[in-house]
Amino acid sequence: MLTELHIENFAIIERLDLQFSDGLITFTGETGAGKSIIVDAVETLLGGRAEAVQVRAGAERANVEAVFRIPQLSRQAILEVLEREDLLDDPNYVTLGREVRLNGRNVARINGRSVSAGLLREIGEFLVDVHGQSEHLSLLRVNQHLGLLDRYASTSKDSAAIQALRDYQSLYTRLQQVEHELAEIRQAERDAARRSDMLSYQINEIEMARLQPGEEQLLREERNRLANAEGLSTLAQQALTALDEGMPEAPAATDLLGQVADALEALARLDPSQASLFETAQAVFENLGDLARNLREYLEGIEFNPRRLDQVEERLGLIHSLKRKYGDSIPEILEFAANARRQLDQITHAAERLQELEAERERLLTRLGEAGEQLSLRRQSAAATLEKAIESELADLHMSGARFKVEFQRQPDLDGARLPDGQRVAYYPFGIERIEFLIAPNPGEGYKPLAKIASGGETSRLMLALKNVLVQADPVPTLIFDEIDQGIGGRVGAIVGQKLWQLGRQHQVLCITHLPQLAAFGEQHYHVEKLVQANRTVTRIKLLQGEERIAELAQMLGGVSESTLQSARELLAAAQAQQSPAGSKTAS
């Protein structure tokens, strides 16, 4: 539930600090006072689009911040997200924030820490559901109707319907994969000759090279030795001369160390405590001997071979050429060849694979038809319940003669899903039919698409009926309705107000309205007004109580006078009577 809302420098709002209770909260005021801007600010807070134009003129940034009490129904899901992102502070409350800067940048925050707008949206979806002024337009979009029906089935806790949709979508996904592979093979068949020649050439070029992993590094090392053979030989000979051969003017290191070892051997015989000195000298002498032998072997192995150098350079050039074509390393080149062989094999055996896939496609189309039929039966059951619930709501809203119908439309398709009775129909990501809501507003009239309804008031009432039916099982705790009473007269306003108040028994409901009959049902009533101060437009909001609230209702009834003040008192009294346990029971 939304408990606190802070808005600063957002559009014409300079600063607002609001605290909210449970139940129905109404907002009233003149058109353009800023009521809908409050809704815009909340939508921005919940991860909606943030733009520099939202920043109040003269300010550097706009800020929106709200504190929510975490709802019980979605507590576990919200806490899991907060713990996953290391954002959990208080298990009972969460704070969301959005800062929009004049330079176009924006910052999203949860519990004071910066997060992505996507994460803000993920949390916000658990907390608030906003129904804007044009929300009823979604009812006119036929492609939205199926989602509404499925939502109703899911909120009705029909687990079988939910599972039927999952089964269907699983089969549909597999069918799409098969269709994709079939399309690839058919395309490959068209290009088979050209593609086959290219793959064969690539495979042959790589295989002829007989590449070995690690070969390139060994060749580079060998090229280095061959290119520097003279220098390597000179240095090795110098070391060997100093170590083992010696010169007339300077004895070899091994000879000198031999003398050291002889002297220390004699010393150890005289002083056995220094035997370790002799052992050390003897070990060094032996190591020098090994070093000399290794140097001699290395010197003998140094090769002055320009021909071999040319061969190594040529081999490295070949590897470099293959790397430019097929990969950045020998393992990548070999993997390219393996993949090319697989593609060539696929082309070679395309006819066999094509036959297998076409058989699998037919099996999947049969299974999809069966799953689609089961899903359709579940939807028809939910639709029947939905139709009755909507008609009951419409009767309460003075449309007792109206009839509501969910029409299921299937499209024959000779290449479509196969139904259990053998018919073939078109299939879609979410089922084998299109769904459209139809209505007969008056007795004796035929069913018509919602878009054909002439009266905006009828559309608004139908939208309210749908929302009231669909939202009652909704776990989202806070619902915001922005002028959904458009086109509804005062005669029906009290009924709408009572329904929203009843909705407030399960949810916190914030409603922007121009109807005094509806506003009278608010358990909190805020007045929004636009003022000009120091040549600047500002929006102010005030919680109305007592006579101030009666005066506001009277103003909404046509202007403050003795008669409208009396009517306002009667509206409040009537609303309070219907809000009492006895009145609520009678109304229901």
Mean of the per-residue pLDDT values for the chain? Answer: 86
**What is the rounded average pLDDT of the residues 490-516?**
87
pLDDT for the residue 450: 77
Q: Is the pLDDT of residue 489 over 80?
A: no
Q: Using CA atoms, how far apart are residues 413 and 492, in angstroms rounded to an integer? A: 47
Report in angstroms the alpha-carbon separations of 12 from 26, 29, 35.
20, 15, 11
pLDDT value, residue 585 = 47
Place 271 in a pLDDT band, splitting at 50, 70 and 90. confident
Q: For residues 226 and 301, what is the distance between their CA atoms, to the nearest angstrom?
A: 11
Q: What are phi and psi of 196, to 5 degrees?
A: -65, -45
Q: Under a CB-based contact definition with an 8 Å cutoff, are residues 484 and 463 in contact?
A: yes
- pLDDT, tens digit, 9 for 90 and up, residues 326-356: 999 999 999 999 999 988 887 777 777 888 9
Most confident of 221-230, 298-307, 494-503: 494-503
* Residues 534, 25: Cα–Cα separation, whole Å: 31
Query: What pLDDT does 583 receive?
Result: 54
pLDDT in tens, 40-68: 999 999 988 888 989 998 899 999 999 99
Q: Which amino acid would we find at residue 345?
A: D
- Cα separation, 29 vs 175, in Å, equals 55
Q: Is the pTM for the entire model greater than 0.75?
A: no
SS (H, E, C) 561-581: CHHHHHHHHHHHHHHHHHHCH
The token pair at 5 is 């809302």
Kindly report, residue by residue over 559-583, the tens digit of the pLDDT. 889 999 999 999 999 998 887 765 5
Using the predicted structure, report yes or no on whether residue 423 has a pLDDT greater than 90: yes
Q: For position 473, what pLDDT does the model report?
A: 56
**Does residue 304 surpass a pLDDT of 90?**
no
Nearest to 515 by CA among 555, 545, 473: 555
Report the SS3 class of residue 527.
strand
Q: What percent of the chain has pLDDT over 70?
A: 93
